[in-house]
Structure 1
Amino acid sequence: MSRFRVVFITLMIATAFDPHSAWSQAHNRIDSLKRQLLHLPADTSRTKLLLQIGRQYYDQYKESRKGRNHAAMPEIHHLLDSAINNARQVVQVSSAANQLPQQAQALYLLAKCFSFGESYDSTRTIDYYQQAQKAYQQLGNKPKAAEVLEDYADMVRLHVGSHKALPLFMEELAIQQSYRDTTIYLTFERIGVIHQDIGNYQLALQAYLQSLRLAEQRNNLNYQIDINGRLADIYELLGNYERAITISHKRLRLIRSQRGIESINLLVGQYRILMKLYPKNHQYPQARQQALAIIELVRQNPDPQSLPLTTCLAESYVVLGQYEQAERLYIRLLPFYEKLNNLSGLIYINTQFGELYWLTRRYEQARHLFQKALTVSQQGRFPDRTAILHQALYKVDSAQGHLRSALLHFQLATAINDSLFNQTKNRQLEELRTQYETEQKDKDIRLQNQRIQVLSQQQQLQTQQLQQDRLVRNSIGLGAVMLLLLLGLTYNRYRLKQRSNQQLQHQHELLLTQQYQLQAQQTEINHKNQDLRRLLAEKERLLKEIHHRVKNNLQVVMSLLNSQASYLSDNAALSAIQQSQHRLQAMALIHQKLYQAEGIARIPMDDYIQEVVAYLRESYELPQPIGYDVQVEPIELDVIQAVPLGLIINEAITNALKYAFPNGRRGQVSLGFLRKDSYELTIRDDGVGLPVDFDPSRSQSLGMTLIQGFSDQLGGQLSIISQEGLTIRLTFSEHQLTSLGSHTDYNYQ
């Protein structure tokens, strides 16, 4: 039954494509990747790109193989050579640079390249697969290691034999179980297929049932359809036709739950399987029902271009005895199968057409078709089908009275069946022999290890006994020597102790005298420390009071300036008074911070700068929205540096708010004060910037003069850049104070 399903699926997936168009697109992609490769250094990015190019060549080679016969393969072999060359470059570079992930991928690609028929090299293929698996295991990538094992096992099954592939699939299963792979049911199916190929049908059945159980837990409907098909096949091979029919009906229900063209084809195929199964279980009316169901389904969904549907329809007519309709369909189908040049399909269609002529007793036409199928089967080396065709020719010759030819076909069919039977049994015997030898070797190794372990234990006991005896003798001699030494030392220590007691008594008297002196000195020091703490607290209180009063005085001056401004109408005078108020506010904030702080000499600049910016922002209420971005690290400065720095910030932001955004222009003012190797103050706006002919170093304006003067006082480097707005940057260190400002000179120049 399985061979009919293979033919049916092969015909369903046969597609046509334009190889020239596909290669043109792939060639463009590869050229683009190669151009990128020219600009990359020899690092991980380069090896990744080389891998990508190699995979493009490999994928295009696989696509180009489709639809080509064996003689045309050399035309595309350069694609595979290019993939191999790129992968080898990656292996060489990644090995030298210790890039294990790229090395593993390249080894995997080389293994797949050398596993093709025209390039197959068993030694290199197996070596690359083993190296790739080892690399992925070193990386701890268990899913990828399992994937490599799966491809490796498929290659071994194809080129070496199923019995050699089985241990590899079992190793893959163990890896997948270690990390609980959710697709492990696919591996159970592959193990079942291997057992089925070998002839271990019971083991195959167990693997298929386990695969089905896991697939049902994952609710994978499509896979349940596939695995139920395999279960039906294995029950049919075991001769349990009733169970095979039950499983087939379960598969039929699953297919009905799907919709679409694919489900229609699957339904027709499943009805056809049941149509073939029922006669084997002597249920001929049920077989006719399946044939009627196929005819009705094809009539509802006619597709004359579908070879699978048309083939099933022809077989249904044969089951129903409507031979004329079946013959017309077979005559129409035969040229399409010949055009496909598919050996399995040709054998199948000629065999089925020949069976039709056999049933209608047209023996010459049946002989012709059986002979055509036999020739193709011998050409494709299908021994099981060759045996079936010899049996068919035996029936035809017997019916026509050609006894000598019938006897020859019978003998050939019997010989082939015996050969197939012997091959299966030989494989099973070889497996049993290998298993027995392996178990014997394991048993011998275990016994040998046990003997070695016993001898080692005996040797260790003897060594331990000798060491113990030697230790006892040495201990007795050493104990006697130690006892004599101990007696001598005890006497010597007694004499030393007497002498030491006398010295200690004298020293004790001296220490008492010194202790009385030290207590008197400590009392005097404590009194002085209390006086110093009282004086220090008084000094701090007085300094805070001074800062508070200075702040109040500055507030009084600001109030006087504000009162004076109310009597002025000149804009220039009002602006000058307002700017003076801002400068006074900047200095007043310094003294307020000193008054509020626990210390009396350091200013927390983050809070101070935030308050200065907030004050200026409220003072200049511009009609348009202006954004502010203040980034200040938690820095504390001496008051000598904090005052000029605050005035520089006041002048810079004031100038930005007054001149950078004319005519309602929107903008952004950014301020940053960071600590790197030195302190860095940056004030930036995205306004109109300075005029083209304006030179800040020669400017006579008060604001620019103050900025430059305070920068010199801080001993910093000032830069003013008018590009996409205006940027003022000042860098200074904590000890770069000039003669204008020092730790002993407290003024606001």
Structure 2
Amino acid sequence: MSLYRVVFIAVIVVTALKPNRAWSQAKDQIDSLKGRLVHAPADTNRTRLLLQIGQQYYDHYKEGRRSRSHSTLREIHFLLDSAIGYAQQVVRLSIGVHRLRWKADGLYLQAKCFSFGERYDSTRTFDYYQQTLKAYKQVGDKPRTAKVLQDLADIVRVHVGVKMALPFVMEALAIQQSYGDTTIYYTLEQIGFLHHKMGNFQLALQAYLQSLRLAEHSKNLLYQLDINGNLAEMYERLGDDARAINYVHRLLRLFGFHEDNESINRIAGYRSKLMILYQENQQLSQARQQALTIIELARHDPDHQSVPLTYFLAQSYVVLGQYELAERLYKHLLPFFEKSTNIGGVTDFNKKLGEVYWLTKRYELARHFFQKALTASQHGRFPDEAVSIHRALYQIDSAQGNLRSALQHFQLATAINDSLFNQTKNRQFEELRTQYETEQKDKDLRLQNQRIQVLSQQQQLQNQQLQQDRLVRNSIGLGAFLLLLLLGLTYNRFRLKKRSNQQLQQQHELLQAQQHQLQAQHQELQAHQQVLHTQQNQIHHKNQDLQRLLAEKERLMKEIHHRVKNNLQVVMSLLNSQASYLSDNAALSAIQQSQHRVQAMALIHQKLYQAQGIARIPIAEYIQEVVAYLQESYELPQPIGFAVQVEPIELDVIQAVPLGLIINEAITNSLKYAFPGGRTGRVSLGFLRIGEHRYELTIQDDGVGLPPDFDPSRSQSLGMTLIQGFSDQLGGQLSIISQGGLTIQLTFSEHQLTSFGSHTDYSYQ
């Protein structure tokens, strides 16, 4: 259980802390501003007064939510309506370039009003935020732009998803860094919180620690408390209870103690967190000590109706074994939580009350409240809470002898826990893999630099060797020249002195000439051998280069398919983001069908970069994934059965793409139109080999079929046009039969592609 779920009551359900006096003071300020507004001319002063009055209504509405119980919130709705009315007047009066700043402030106030509480309107909220961003950017107000992006990120996180909120916070951080904002620690804490919720714990820890250092430097106690609380929650989720306990102690040291209701509630929340952590670690004496401390804090509570402190006090009585007192306090809080809209708070409260009845062996009451907690956790998508609730229900069924139900709850708890474990391990593996690849790239870069240095040294040595060889050749040539000169002189002396031996000398010269000729031939032969050896080495190196280039080409092709798949996923995310801004059902349906087509193409590229080859796709796995994706996407209220029979066939990517898009369009049409009015049915898909290099695709449903006057060949619908177009691209024979449902049958050969689907003209058309 997270730290924020322990202290959540202080935010959601708090009692009245002198609301009448606060409203009286605010009303006096609003009346004073309204009095000035009566005599204000129609200029910027009037616009300023309207904005101040609207802001006063909005601020007091937020204060009223914090200071009133859930049952009395409807009494202060008029405050929010009044704030919206004055903000709209500001926007209407702010016409012209010089009043763009006032218009931006009015739009900002409207955006906050429609994103808050019971007046939440997703369409208006995002529209006003987008207009506000545009206006602040036009006037060049970077701090306000960053603040709007931060608020928009919180709205997207709550109502759309954590991952979609991250780009807005990163944009705000970039803007703050551009003008040197000294409060950047808030944005860093927000980034850490988003990474924390996505399971990127290493990135979350980096952002938290950087934010904490800046908050400490700025001496901002509030954000130091928030960041230490986030760190405690993160370490508790990671199973490091020792560090979680350490950060809660740091919270207590930072907060101190003050004799007021809010301080007592927060300190009691931190003490309650310590109590639970100690209890989970079997440190029972420390847990009991924290429980006694909370009871002592309750005696200092100036407001004896404090709901947060009542909740923490009930938890303390459970730890001390005083179950009757705990039950009495929980029953006192029950009306508040029955009307609460906070799913996390409702889940935790019902678990606590169910635990009291379990400990007192009132199993039916325990089962009732644990079942309510399970329903709330499933609605709020809290899988970690669902695990503990299923285990509690397993123990209750075991105690009552309901062995079959106990086994079901045990299996569900195990399955959810294994899923959470696998998700955590996968995230850790991805973090380790990224770190390894980064280190490997750095290592490769260092090795490359070392190779460059070695090659440079080798080049220098080769130059030195060439100089030495040149000197040796010159020395040999000079020696040979001197030797020939000496032989010539000697020969001349012998010729002059021994004329009688001339014939013998001539024979000797002839022998020497033949010997020189043989030596020249021998040297020529050696030169040819050296040339052949050099050519063989060159051929060998070229073969190695070709093999390397071939491997590099295959790797690049896989990378290209991987990036194309990622880009298609980005397109799907953009379509999903666009869908959140649309309210027209036809536009939403068109975007959803576009997402399905993009997903069908993305799966092709995913298979290509995962496969051993780079051109053929195992079509059985691909069809199974497409059908599963479409079945999950529509989530029809009635059960629709699926039967898929696909032989182990591999197809070229040129044929796999149109085949996948035909399957996407056919199943989409069946799910959308074949089973109206909650009608159940069955969809069958078969892909079989009917001959050598010849295949048959059959998609059949037992729905309502086509209208009697419907002619598929003349249909102008996009889905039917795509099916016929892709069938022509495959060069296949398409037949559509509407009898007892709808049957689409396509027969084609592996080499029957038309001209616009050939290997030389590959496209998704």
Max Rg structure: 1
Q: Using CA pairs below 8 Å that are at least 6 residues apart, which structure has the higher relative contact order?
A: 2
- For normalisation by structure 2, the TM-score amounts to 0.48
